[in-house]
């Protein structure tokens, strides 16, 4: 069993990963500046897991503060989630994204080097494939940034890979997520976007909760069976379990490994909408709008490497994803 620090540990994927790691007997500490995470998350994690894990309210750009955390407890590995992730915001404010994502990662890596921590699992994204030439996408597909957010993910992947190559780190897993959705089945933690959601599932949930009038489908003239965009949605608890597998494999291996995390099956916007309606019994008003600039028609993973390297495959279904997303929305909407 290992002691692991999770940067961005109170966020959507970080908090679910904390649950999964604790369930497997690991020791977990969270680091978060709470810029995009709720302070209600740590007590809710305790309610789910019955474990009171340490929470450090620190910004990863504060190298000295991170060094002090590393000096106070011996961590075997870091899982690095802390980052900004809104495509539009990244184009409007590139310096902010370079600062938080790139300089933040540099600061974290500097503190890790100082503490002699050689293993990192990094929260990357399928966005590094840009507009994919064909699907399913394997890890050897060309890498290409189509926006500043994607560029920062590519730079962070390169920085980490270079530190492994030069022996400063021993092991890195670059986990390229497709479309994480769903929530912990307790309904106590989930995705809580600030302002108007830009991603499909949180927007769908807010329409279902009657917080928004109707969903706009961004284009129905793509070269897909029903004309709407196809993505690889995966349940956040499956994703969390993949992080456990990655960190456990990382403890016994060396080198940099980029690994796709997806189900391998694509679903269209229309399919997701109907699955949500059938699962929840709630009708979703929608209209067809223009294509969103930068959207690929189809994007889904070849998840074969995750199976061979990590022994991991996604198990939860689209129905699980819709049910758990809605349960979280329903319960959290009540407490708001
Ligand atoms: C988006 C980002 C991607 C980022 C990912 C996770 C863009 C161009 N891409 O990916 O870089 O890594 O989120 O944060 O922003 N859709 C609608 N109506 C909506 C919202 C979405 O029809 O209100 C459609 C989209 O056109 C797409 C699908 O739903 O076909 C999924 O969209 P989204 O959840 O934003 O994910 P990605 O486009 O895969």
pLDDT string in tens for the chain (336-residue length) = 999 999 999 999 999 999 999 999 999 999 999 999 999 999 999 999 999 999 999 999 999 999 999 999 999 999 999 999 999 999 999 999 999 999 999 999 999 999 999 999 999 999 999 989 899 999 999 999 999 999 999 999 999 999 999 999 999 999 999 999 999 999 999 998 888 999 999 999 999 999 999 999 999 999 999 999 999 999 999 999 999 999 999 999 999 999 999 999 999 999 999 999 999 999 999 999 999 988 999 999 999 999 999 999 999 999 999 999 999 999 986 554
Ligand 1: nearest atom to the Cα of 293: 8
User: Using CA atoms, how far apart are residues 129 and 119, in angstroms rounded to an integer?
Assistant: 24
Q: How far is CA 251 from the centre of its chain?
A: 21
Q: How far is CA 60 from the centre of its chain?
A: 17
User: Using CA atoms, how far apart are residues 56 and 129, in angstroms rounded to an integer?
Assistant: 33
Ligand 1: nearest atom to the Cα of 149: 11
Which of 152, 292, 301, 325 best tests ligand 1's pocket when mutated (most atoms within 8 Å of CB)?
292
Residue ranges in 73-103 assigned as alpha helix (H): 87-92, 94-97
Distance 269 CA to ligand 1 centre (A): 10
Ligand 1: nearest atom to the Cα of 299: 39
CATH class of the domain at 3-181+233-265+300-315: alpha beta
Task: Label residue 242 left, alpha or beta by phi (over 0 means left) and psi (-120 to 50 means alpha).
Answer: alpha
Q: To 5 degrees, how large is the angle CA 75–CA 79–CA 84?
A: 135
Q: Taking the model in full, what pTM does it have?
A: 0.97
Q: What pLDDT does residue 194 have?
A: 82
Distance 164 CA to ligand 1 centre (A): 32
Which of 295, 298, 318, 322 best tests ligand 1's pocket when mutated (most atoms within 8 Å of CB)?
295
Distance 264 CA to ligand 1 centre (A): 17
Which residue, among 84, 85, 122, 80, has the nearest Cα to 259 in the 3D structure? 122
For the chain, give every domain's residue range: 3-181+233-265+300-315
Q: Which residues line ligand 1 (CB under 6 A)?
A: 85, 87, 125, 127, 149-150, 179, 198-200, 203, 215-218, 229, 231, 269, 292, 294-295, 299
Distance 198 CA to ligand 1 centre (A): 7
CB-CB contact of 119 with 80 (8 Å): no
Whose CA is closest to atom 21 on ligand 1? Answer: 200
Distance 186 CA to ligand 1 centre (A): 26
Distance 136 CA to ligand 1 centre (A): 17
Contacts of 185 (CB under 8 A, 6+ apart): 237, 324, 327
Ligand 1: nearest atom to the Cα of 228: 30
Which of 86, 201, 269 best tests ligand 1's pocket when mutated (most atoms within 8 Å of CB)?
269
Q: What pLDDT does residue 195 have?
A: 86
Residues marked active site are found at 149
Q: What pLDDT does residue 334 have?
A: 58
- Specify the residue for token string 């390229």: 176
CB-CB contact of 152 with 94 (8 Å): no
Contacts of 252 (CB under 8 A, 6+ apart): none
Measured over the CA atoms of residue 253, residue 259, residue 265 and residue 270, the dihedral's sign is: positive
CB-CB contact of 179 with 231 (8 Å): yes
């Amino acid at each position: 069993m290992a002691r692991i620090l999770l940067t961005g540990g109170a966020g959507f994927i970080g908090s679910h990963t904390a649950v999964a790691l604790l369930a497997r007997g690991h020791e977990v500490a969270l680091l978060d500046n709470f810029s995009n995470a709720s302070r209600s998350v740590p007590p809710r994690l305790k309610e789910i897991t019955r474990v009171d894990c340490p929470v450090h309210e620190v910004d990863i750009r504060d190298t000295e503060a991170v060094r002090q955390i590393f000096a106070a407890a011996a961590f075997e590995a870091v899982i690095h989630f802390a980052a900004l992730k809104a495509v539009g915001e990244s184009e409007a404010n590139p310096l902010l994204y370079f600062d938080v994502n790139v300089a933040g990662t540099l600061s974290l890596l500097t503190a890790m080097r100082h503490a002699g921590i050689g293993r990192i699992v990094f929260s990357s994204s399928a966005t590094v494939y840009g507009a994919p030439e064909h699907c399913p996408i394997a890890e050897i597909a060309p890498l290409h940034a189509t926006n500043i957010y994607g560029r920062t993910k590519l730079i962070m992947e390169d920085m980490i890979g270079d530190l492994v190559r030069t022996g400063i780190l021993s092991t890195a897993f670059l986990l390229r997520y497709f479309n994480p959705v769903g929530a912990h089945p307790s309904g106590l933690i989930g995705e809580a976007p600030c302002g108007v959601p830009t991603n499909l599932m949180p927007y769908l949930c807010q329409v279902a909760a009657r917080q928004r009038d109707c969903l706009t489908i961004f284009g129905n003239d793509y070269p897909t069976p029903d004309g709407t965009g196809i993505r690889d949605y995966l349940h956040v608890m499956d994703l969390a379990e993949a992080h456990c597998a990655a960190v456990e494999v990382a403890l016994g291996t060396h080198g940099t490994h980029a690994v796709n995390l997806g189900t391998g099956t694509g679903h269209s916007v229309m399919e997701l909408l109907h699955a949500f309606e059938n699962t929840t019994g709630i009708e979703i008003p929608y209209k067809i709008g223009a294509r969103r600039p930068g959207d690929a028609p189809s994007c889904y993973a070849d998840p074969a490497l995750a199976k061979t390297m990590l022994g991991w495959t996604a198990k939860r279904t689209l129905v699980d994803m819709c049910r758990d997303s809605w349960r979280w929305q329903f319960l959290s909407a009540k407490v708001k």
